[in-house]
């Protein structure tokens, strides 16, 4: 049973074609999308009770599913769960899979998404899944409405029309209920992280960055978004891709780069480097070369905050590989039992090398 139509349906399609064996056909016959599986079990007598009352859902079907199965099982399963479903006649969202992540496809993605899907979502107004999304809005924006600040503020990114287009799109389509200032600030942090990384690679290749330096390319939004919620009294602690949260904490780029270059004027007098950079005055408690080791250390800081009755949180960044470390699970257990003001941020980049 699977959630991701492309992955799951491969077992029914290419897999069978490729192997042409009875075993492959057996696997194909036993592979179900979640909705198909639930409906099959319902036909066999499964009863499920859903807690909330009637709700509405806008459904944009997955292309691969639309081609091979159709959206009928999804509509039926949502209806079973109490949703009044309207299906968007959306065609392609323009952002599928890795295609949507690649910068050379950016304009195509925006154009395609803007043709049918984005207008359909924007045209339906609020009430569709906004409840959870509100928790993702930084405090400064919680009272404002999408697009409100747009007219009032002069774009800080006016020199970068391409970047502005991305922000305009987010504002116009109300995809994220954030103000222009916040979106620009997040974007600037992401670009800053990217540029810092690119420069780090250059300096590493020319032998000026000491030890090693792990790229954060593609993950910039994680540090930028997560740290946007912090006050200056909150703390961060991270892993071997460590320095990035520092960008959001207001660190000085020259001191950061000096640290990576092993220089005396770096944040840790050049002794920490990329993997062990810390800046206690900015409440950056340190990167850590031992995978996931920052998690229990961060929880210790959160426990100290709690005992001192300080209104502060600690964020710990770790990877999907680090998530397998026992300390992560032990820390989650203790953090829950002690109700620690502690945020676990797992950056799942789908590799752990």
Ligand X SMILES: Cc1ncc(C[n+]2csc(CCOP(=O)(O)OP(=O)(O)O)c2C)c(N)n1
Binding mask 304-333 for Mg ion (x = CB under 5 A): ---------------xxx------------
The option from ligand X, Mg ion, none interacting with 240 (CB < 5 to 8 A, set by class) reads ligand X
- Rule CB under 6 A: is residue 352 a binding residue for ligand X? yes
Nearer to Mg ion, 19 or 352 (CB): 352
Nearest residue to ligand X on Cβ basis: 319
**Closest distance to ligand X from the beta carbon of 222 (Å):** 10
**Closest distance to ligand X from the beta carbon of 214 (Å):** 6
Residues 6 or more apart whose CB falls under 8 angstroms from that of 316 comprise 236, 237, 238, 294, 295, 297, 298, 299, 342, 343, 344, 345
Spatial distance between the Cα atoms of 270 and 277, rounded to a whole number of angstroms: 9
- Rule CB under 6 A: is residue 351 a binding residue for ligand X? yes
The option from Mg ion, ligand X, none interacting with 262 (CB < 5 to 8 A, set by class) reads none
Spatial distance between the Cα atoms of 255 and 250, rounded to a whole number of angstroms: 11
Nearer to Mg ion, 33 or 323 (CB): 323
# residues near ligand X by CB under 6 A? 14
Locus of tokens 């696997």: 27
Nearer to ligand X, 333 or 349 (CB): 349
Nearer to ligand X, 31 or 274 (CB): 274
Nearer to Mg ion, 89 or 320 (CB): 320
Binding piece for Mg ion, criterion CB under 5 A, among 54-62, 87-95, 143-151, 343-351: 343-351
The option from Mg ion, ligand X, none interacting with 12 (CB < 5 to 8 A, set by class) reads none
Phi, psi of 59 (to 5 degrees): -110, 125
Locus of tokens 């991305």: 166
- CB-facing half-sphere around the CA of 258: CA atoms within 13 A: 12
Which two tokens mark 204? 């590493």
- Rule CB under 5 A: is residue 352 a binding residue for Mg ion? yes
Spatial distance between the Cα atoms of 286 and 284, rounded to a whole number of angstroms: 6
Nearer to ligand X, 276 or 312 (CB): 276
- Rule CB under 6 A: is residue 243 a binding residue for ligand X? no
Binding piece for Mg ion, criterion CB under 5 A, among 129-137, 211-219, 331-339, 344-352: 344-352
Binding mask 277-296 for ligand X (x = CB under 6 A): ------------xxx-----
Nearest residue to Mg ion on Cβ basis: 319
Q: Are 282 and 269 in contact (CB under 8 A)?
A: no
**Taking the CA atoms of the chain, what radius of gyration do you get in angstroms?**
24
Residues facing residue 332 across a β-bridge: none
Which two tokens mark 146? 């999408």
The option from ligand X, Mg ion, none interacting with 290 (CB < 5 to 8 A, set by class) reads ligand X
The option from ligand X, Mg ion, none interacting with 322 (CB < 5 to 8 A, set by class) reads ligand X
- CB-facing half-sphere around the CA of 164: CA atoms within 13 A: 10
Residues 6 or more apart whose CB falls under 8 angstroms from that of 89 comprise 116, 120
**Closest distance to ligand X from the beta carbon of 324 (Å):** 8
- Rule CB under 5 A: is residue 349 a binding residue for Mg ion? yes
Alpha-helical runs (H) found in the chain: 5-10, 14-19, 22-29, 34-43, 63-68, 72-80, 106-115, 117-123, 130-133, 148-152, 161-172, 180-205, 220-227, 245-248, 253-260, 294-307, 326-337
**Closest distance to ligand X from the beta carbon of 285 (Å):** 18
Binding mask 91-110 for ligand X (x = CB under 6 A): --------------------
Angle, helices 180-205/253-260, rounded to nearest 10 degrees: 30
Binding mask 305-334 for ligand X (x = CB under 6 A): --------------xxxx------------
Q: Which residues bind ligand X (CB under 6 A)?
A: 240-241, 289-291, 319-322, 347, 349, 351-353
């Amino acid at each position: 049973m699977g959630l991701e139509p492309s992955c799951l349906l491969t077992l029914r399609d290419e897999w069978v074609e490729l192997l042409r064996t009875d075993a492959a056909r057996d696997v194909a016959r036993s592979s179900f999308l979640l909705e198909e599986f639930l409906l099959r079990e319902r036909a066999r007598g499964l009863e499920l009770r859903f807690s909330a009352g009637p709700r509405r859902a806008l459904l944009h079907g997955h292309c691969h599913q639309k081609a091979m199965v159709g959206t009928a099982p999804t509509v039926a399963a949502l209806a079973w769960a109490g949703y009044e479903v309207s299906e968007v006649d959306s065609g392609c969202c323009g952002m599928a899979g890795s295609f949507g992540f690649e910068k050379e496809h950016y304009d195509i993605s925006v154009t395609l998404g803007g043709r049918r899907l984005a207008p359909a979502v924007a045209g339906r107004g609020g009430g569709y899944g906004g409840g959870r999304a509100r928790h993702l809005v930084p405090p400064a924006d919680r009272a404002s409405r999408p697009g409100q600040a747009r007219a009032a503020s002069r774009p800080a990114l006016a020199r970068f029309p391409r970047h502005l287009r991305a922000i305009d799109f987010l504002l116009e389509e109300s995809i994220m209920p954030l103000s222009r200032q916040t979106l620009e600030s997040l974007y600037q942090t992401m670009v800053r992280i990217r540029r810092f990384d690119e420069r780090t690679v250059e300096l590493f290749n020319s032998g000026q960055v000491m030890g090693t330096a792990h790229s954060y390319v593609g993950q910039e939004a994680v540090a930028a978004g997560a740290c946007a919620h912090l006050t200056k009294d909150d703390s961060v602690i991270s892993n071997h891709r460590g320095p990035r949260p520092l960008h959001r904490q207001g660190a000085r780029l020259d001191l950061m780069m000096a640290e990576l270059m092993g220089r005396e004027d770096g944040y840790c007098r050049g002794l920490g480097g990329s993997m062990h950079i810390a800046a206690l005055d900015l409440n950056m408690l340190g990167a850590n070369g031992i995978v996931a080791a920052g998690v229990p250390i961060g929880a210790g800081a959160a426990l100290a905050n709690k005992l001192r009755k300080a209104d502060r949180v600690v964020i710990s960044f770790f990877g999907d590989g680090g998530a397998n470390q026992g300390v992560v699970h032990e820390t989650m257990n203790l953090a829950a039992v002690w109700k620690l003001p502690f945020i676990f941020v797992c950056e799942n980049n789908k590799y752990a090398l």
